[in-house]
């Protein structure tokens, strides 16, 4: 039964991501990196991600009236304090990086039998963080660079400042659920990436990660460290 639910969850999430990608092909985002962020976000937020895209993302497309200004508003443009929708949107950048990194890293750990101190969970913690941090910086770089007159070096430094704490906060929620899955829900045998239930658990972990990183992102936007211009 759980395997069926897992396959259904994965299928619905993929369909939502494809719908967003198709719509973006006709209505590209004003900020190019968001063309990747929105579909990847749907891979773990599923129908909520699809709703979010049509609720907020569509307003930031190039052909939407004031698309660029809508993007600036959702990212905390102006002098108003950041709102929770702005915080969640700011967190979606590192969430997308985490999601892609997790898919790559988890299959690599399984394929090569990687462990740390004999633990696959420890290996996941370390390498998921490395991959998520690296890709999160890339996603943040391509968010920050077009929004300000910055050199490549300045944009990289700004991306590191903006996303490091964000990634750490994201991993708090994600790693907590991974520990619950590893030690309590499926202790023997442990789930592997070949099991669809593994990815259902990772979807839940990513949702929790977005929840734990959003307060951090609200603070980062508020103090001007996120989406520097």
Q: What is the pLDDT of residues 150-192, one digit of tens each?
A: 888 988 998 898 889 999 999 999 999 999 999 999 999 999 9
**Inter-residue contact 70 to 40 (CB < 8 Å):** no
Give residue 97's pLDDT band: very low, low, confident or very high (50, 70, 90).
Answer: very high
**Inter-residue contact 92 to 178 (CB < 8 Å):** no
| Model pTM score | 0.90
Nearest to 203 by CA among 31, 41, 66: 41
**Inter-residue contact 159 to 144 (CB < 8 Å):** yes
Tokens (6 digits) for 194: 């070949």
Mean predicted confidence (pLDDT) in 133-154: 85
Mean predicted confidence (pLDDT) in 129-149: 87
Q: Where are the domains of the chain?
A: 2-222
pLDDT recorded at residue 74: 46
pLDDT recorded at residue 33: 92
Phi, psi of 158 (to 5 degrees): -65, -40
Phi, psi of 61 (to 5 degrees): -75, 160
Q: What contacts 7, CB < 8 A, 6 or more positions away?
A: 196
pLDDT > 90: percent of the chain: 76
Residue 229 pLDDT > 50, yes or no?
A: no
Question: What is the rounded CA–CA span in Å between residue 199 and residue 218?
Answer: 28
Scanning the chain, the segments in alpha helix (DSSP H) are 2-26, 34-45, 47-55, 67-74, 84-112, 120-144, 152-180, 196-222
Q: How far apart are the first and last CA of the chain?
A: 50
Tokens (6 digits) for 7: 């396959």
Average pLDDT, the chain: 90
**Inter-residue contact 170 to 210 (CB < 8 Å):** yes
pLDDT recorded at residue 151: 87
Mean predicted confidence (pLDDT) in 91-116: 95
Mean predicted confidence (pLDDT) in 58-80: 62
């Amino acid at each position: 039964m759980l395997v069926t639910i897992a396959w259904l969850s994965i299928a619905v999430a993929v369909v939502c991501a494809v719908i967003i990608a198709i719509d973006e092909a006709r209505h590209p985002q004003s900020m190019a990196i968001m063309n990747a962020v929105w579909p990847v976000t749907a891979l773990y937020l599923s129908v909520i991600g699809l709703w979010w895209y049509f609720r907020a993302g569509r307003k930031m497309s190039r052909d939407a009236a004031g698309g660029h200004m809508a993007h600036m508003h959702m990212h905390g443009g102006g002098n108003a304090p950041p709102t929770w929708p702005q915080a969640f949107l700011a967190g979606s950048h590192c969430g997308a990086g985490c999601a892609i990194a997790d898919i790559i890293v988890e299959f690599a750990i399984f394929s090569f039998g990687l462990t740390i101190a004999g633990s696959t969970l420890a290996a996941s913690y370390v390498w998921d963080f490395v991959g998520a941090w690296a890709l999160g910086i890339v996603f943040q770089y391509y968010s920050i660079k077009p929004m300000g007159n910055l050199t490549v070096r300045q944009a990289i430094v700004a991306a590191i400042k903006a996303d490091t704490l964000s990634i750490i906060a994201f991993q708090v929620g994600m790693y907590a659920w991974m520990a619950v899955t590893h030690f309590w829900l499926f202790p023997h045998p442990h789930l592997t990436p070949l099991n669809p239930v593994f990815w259902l658990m990772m979807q839940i972990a990513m949702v929790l990660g977005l929840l734990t990183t959003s307060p951090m992102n609200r603070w980062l936007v508020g103090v001007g460290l996120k989406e520097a211009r």
